[in-house]
Amino acid sequence: MEPFRFHMFVCMQQKPEGVTSCPANGSMAVFAALDREIQARGLSSDVQITTCGCMGLCDEGPVMVVYPEGVWYRHVQLSDVPEIVTQHLLAGKPVDRLIWNDSAAMKAMSLEHGEKFRAAMAAREKAGVLPDRLEQMIRGFMPSRCLLTALELNIFTAVGQGANADQIGTRVHANARAVGMLLNALVSLGLLSKIGDDYRNAPESARFFVQGSKDNHRNGLLHTANIWHRWSTLTDAVRSGTRIHIDGDSNPEWTPNFIAGMQRNAKDRALLVVKALGTEGVRRILDLGGGSGAYSIAFAKASPDVKCEILDLAEVVPLTAEYVRDAGVSAQVSLRAGDMLHDDFGSGYNIVMLNAICHMFSEEQNLEVFRRARQALAFNGRLVVQDFILNPDKAGPQQAALFSLNMLVGTDAGAAYSEADYTSWMTAAGFAEVRRIKLPGPSDLIVGRAE
Ligand SMILES: C[S@@+](CC[C@H](N)C(=O)[O-])C[C@H]1O[C@@H](n2cnc3c(N)ncnc32)[C@H](O)[C@@H]1O
Ligand code: FES
């Protein structure tokens, strides 16, 4: 008995540029359209759609197979999708004009492809060619830098509803020839399209990178552009063991971009944190290094009984004030300018939060902050840390291990830490019932209770 009435496999095998493949012929768009159409027709519980690797029929792609019949389709185009869904999946009649049923030819082509592939791999291996995976890792900065430069120059907003390189160059106050080169690279990355001399935003670019779009992420992403400069110092930072000070850090846009970047991540995660901790019995929260205030805002919205105090650096507090005001929770969220490493925390809190804070500090600084948080908590109050948590051997997950280097190039003594690190500091600071709460996404909570 099959769990689904139909199971479709669509080839999505990525190959190096210039090599024929199903994705190069549009299989990704076909897959996305099939998925949308299947949902729209209410077929998701009858049809399973799965991506698959190369079937050795690349010249005939995009290729897909539909089971239980074992029907092979080739040269499937976006425009074929409604017909496949209506005729095959709904009416049970495969689309004849797309079927490929010359089994002998298919088998011969697939076997020949397999042989050629193995021979090519053996030749590369013998010649000592750098594997694609390493090649891509080494050149990975190029697409990243292209997109960051486009964001810094606000290229996608300048493209607007469509424009040529001269017009865009004038709008972003940059050299037309160079802008043209950048625009062409952005087209090659799928972030723009080009018709004649005119460039247009791809749907994702229009949605996420254009000023005025509801889902515009540009301001938050400019923080990543700032971080780029710091990452360029990684070699020297590794040599010296701490960050190298660079000019970019005094950029006046640094702090607003940084806080916008924090808010971009925090606003959705804050709802997860409120759900994980609950608001029962919670009256006063101290949000250390609250940044955009996203976590305090979420708690204030979750319960009218909760009052939050955000302690952050003097240059950040005016920015925090704007986010709090815009959220309409100023009556519940108060702000304090100060330095959490030295200033008094106050007392009687039910929760002290450290969201994305501990990675900025050394082990000794974190232990000291935890001790002082312990003093600031009421009986049964909770210290809540949210951060990237390293595996016990500290060699993963990848995002946390890379983030640790982000702290090497960006702070005096910060790093990502493991669950064992957090547990030992909380225990040494006098917390009981220390536990990790897993959240969806890259960071988790570590919570300890003051008894
Ligand atoms: C990585 S951000 C996290 C912001 C916020 N908690 C969140 O998760 O979105 C770190 C915050 O700590 C603040 N901060 C850094 N050092 C601080 C210190 N010594 N005292 C108070 N706040 C500090 C920064 O200004 C920034 O708002
Ligand atoms: S890439 Fe799709 S069959 Fe080879």
Model pLDDT for residues 144-180, shown as the tens digit of each residue: 999 999 999 999 999 999 999 999 999 999 999 999 9
pLDDT of residue 250: 67
- Please give the number of the atom of ligand 1 that sits closest to the Cα of 386: 8
| pLDDT for position 1 | 58
Q: Which ligand is nearest to the CA of 286?
A: 1
Position 251 scores a pLDDT of: 76
Q: Is the CB of 13 under 6 A from ligand 2?
A: yes
Show Cβ contacts of residue 67 under 8 Å, excluding neighbours closer than 6 positions: 2, 6, 7, 8, 9
CB contact burial 2-25 (16+ within 10 A = b; e otherwise) = eeeebebbbbbbeeeeeeebbbbb
Q: Give the SS3 label for residue 340.
A: coil
pLDDT at residue 349 in the model: 98
- Give the nearest ligand 2 atom to 12 CA: 2
Per-residue pLDDT of 59-83, as tens digits, reads 999 999 999 999 999 999 999 999 9
Between the CA of 334 and the centroid of ligand 1 the distance, in Å, is 16
Please name the residue whose Cα sits nearest to atom 1 of ligand 2.
Answer: 21
Distance separating alpha carbons of residues 11 and 427, to the nearest angstrom: 52
Does residue 21's CB lie within 6 angstroms of at least one atom of ligand 2?
Answer: yes
What is the position in ligand 2's atom list of the atom closest to the CA of 54?
A: 4
- Please give the Cα distance from 86 to 268 (Å, whole number): 38
The pick from 271, 315, 340, 403 for probing ligand 1's pocket by mutation, whose C-beta has the most ligand atoms within 8 angstroms, reads: 340
The residue count of the chain comes to 451
In the reported structure, the alpha carbon of residue 293 is separated from the centroid of ligand 1 by a whole-number distance in angstroms of 10
Best of 273, 339, 360 for a ligand 1 pocket test (most atoms within 8 Å of beta carbon)? 360
CA 116 / ligand 2 centre spacing (Å): 14
C-alpha 294/C-alpha 428 separation (Å) is 29
Q: Which residues line ligand 1 (CB under 6 A)?
A: 262, 266, 289-292, 294, 311-313, 316, 339-341, 355-357, 360
Q: Given the CA of residue 113, which atom of ligand 2 is nearest to it?
A: 4
Question: What distances in angstroms separate CA 126 from CA 15, 119, 131, one per listed residue?
Answer: 21, 10, 12
Helices (H), 244-397: 254-277, 294-302, 317-327, 363-376
Instruction: Name the residue at shortest CA distance from atom 12 of ligand 1.
Output: 289
Q: Give the atom of ligand 1 at the shortest distance from the alpha carbon of 343.
A: 20
Closest Cα to atom 23 of ligand 1: 289
The continuous run of DSSP H or E covering 130 comes out as none
In percent, the amount of the chain with pLDDT more than 90 equals 94
Which tokens go with 383?
A: 């210290």
What is the CA(427)–ligand 2 centre distance, in A?
Answer: 55
Sequence letter at residue 78: L
- Calpha distance 84→91 (Å, rounded): 10
Q: pLDDT value at position 254?
A: 86
Compute the distance from residue 443 Cα to the ligand 1 centre, in Å: 16
Question: For position 18, what pLDDT does the model report?
Answer: 87
How many other CB atoms are there within 10 angstroms of residue 277's CB atom?
Answer: 20
| Residues of the chain under the 70 pLDDT cut | 1, 248-250
For 31, the token pair is 């897959």
Is 292 close to ligand 2, i.e. is its CB under 6 Å away? Answer: no
Residue 99, pLDDT score = 98
